[in-house]
Amino acid sequence: MGDNSVNLNKKELILERLNKRNKDRQNYLDAKIELRNKESTEFEGTDYFAQTFSERVKDIEKNINNVHKDTPDLTRTFASINNDIQELQRYLSNSTLFLPDYKIKACQNILNELTAQSEDVRQRLLPKKKFGFNNKKAINIKTNAVQKNSNGVDKTDFVPEKTKFSWTLSDRSNEYKLLVGTEVDRKDVTISGLKNCFVEIRGHAGSVQISNTDNCTFLCGPISRSLFAENCTNCTIVAACQQLRLHSSINCRLYLHVTCRAIIEDCTKIEVGSYNYEYLGIDIDFKKSGLDETVNNYRDVADFNWLSPDKPSPNWRLISELDYGDSKANWTEIKEQFERDKKF
């Protein structure tokens, strides 16, 4: 009886070991199949992107090369080309999650070249007209041209006055500014030349551009497309957008909600944290912007000056990894302190 019991225990032990070995082997095979499927999917996605991107680039180049001085409605033709380039830019932005950094940079360089090529041809075929009249004569000529146009005598003589680019905010210092409603919604908000300023953008802007700023704080509600910032020093940017691009900036903090990813180039001492800006109605702005509140890739930052996949970039780091504990900044308190310091 005792021998039978011992033999039974040995058999059970052997069966248990065999079952465990088979289970481990099956788990290994399942993991290997899953990894192979994942690699295949990523390769197919990258391969499809490369083919699609290349085809669109060829189409745009063909359209640019086909433009000549006798092309009817040159203005509309160049507008169509620029729209194609912008569409391709959006396609690249939406594909950055599965593309390696070197591929993103290479494609961005191609887009920059297409833009420059289109602008070069446009400047050659649609040169800016220079007038040598004094103010009084210029006014008379413009008036006559308008009269001819309104009377239908000679509409071709009418020369529209070139619209000057106007920044939303520019050349300000030591100010608090709040942009809301119609100033922001679906608009392209542009900011330049600010120093020691605190700016709040409440609404659902189409895009935001920030240039040449020093020691400023920018709190942005949901942005439908992208935020582009350049030449920023000692600045804090809080933004929810599809993609953020930061160029030629130093010692800046970014609190982000990005559905694609953040890209930095020629930047140092950049700190990145999760989006933490709130105001009454921000949930409505999120819906109107079209951003997915459940997707935030703020940790996935592409540094175009650091393409090594093995080592992390020394040019940026996560705020949550720092030693000080203000990763969740209280913007109301910070704004009130700013106002006290400036004695508003």
Q: Over pLDDT 70: what percentage of the chain?
A: 74
Region 169-342: CATH code: 2.160.20.70
Question: Confidence class of residue 79 from pLDDT cuts 50, 70 and 90?
Answer: confident
Superfamily of domain 2-125: Tubulin Binding Cofactor C, N-terminal domain (1.20.58.1250)
Domain ranges of the chain: 2-125, 169-342
Per-residue pLDDT reduced to its tens digit, 311-331: 889 999 998 755 545 556 789
Give the lowest-confidence range in 8-12, 118-122, 270-274.
8-12
Per-residue pLDDT reduced to its tens digit, 182-201: 999 999 999 999 999 999 99
Question: Confidence class of residue 43 from pLDDT cuts 50, 70 and 90?
Answer: very low
Question: Confidence class of residue 29 from pLDDT cuts 50, 70 and 90?
Answer: low
Write the secondary structure of the chain as one string of H (helix), E (strand) and C (coil). CHHHHHHHHHHHHHHHHHHHHHHHHHHHHHHHHHHHHHHHHHHHHHHHHHHHHHHHHHHHHHHHHCCCCCCCCHHHHHHHHHHHHHHHHHHHHHCCCCCCHHHHHHHHHHHHHHHHHHHHHHHHHCCCCCCCCCHHHHHHHHHHHHHHHHHCCCHHHCCCCCCCCCCCEEEEECCEEEEEHHHCCCCEEEEEEEECCEEEEECCECEEEEEEEECCEEEEEEECCEEEEEEEECCEEEEEEEEEEEECCEEEEEEEEEEEEEEEECCEEEEEEECCCCCCCHHHHHHHHCCCCCCCCCCCEEECCCCCCCCCCCCEEEHHHCCCCCCCCCHHHHHHHHHHHHCC
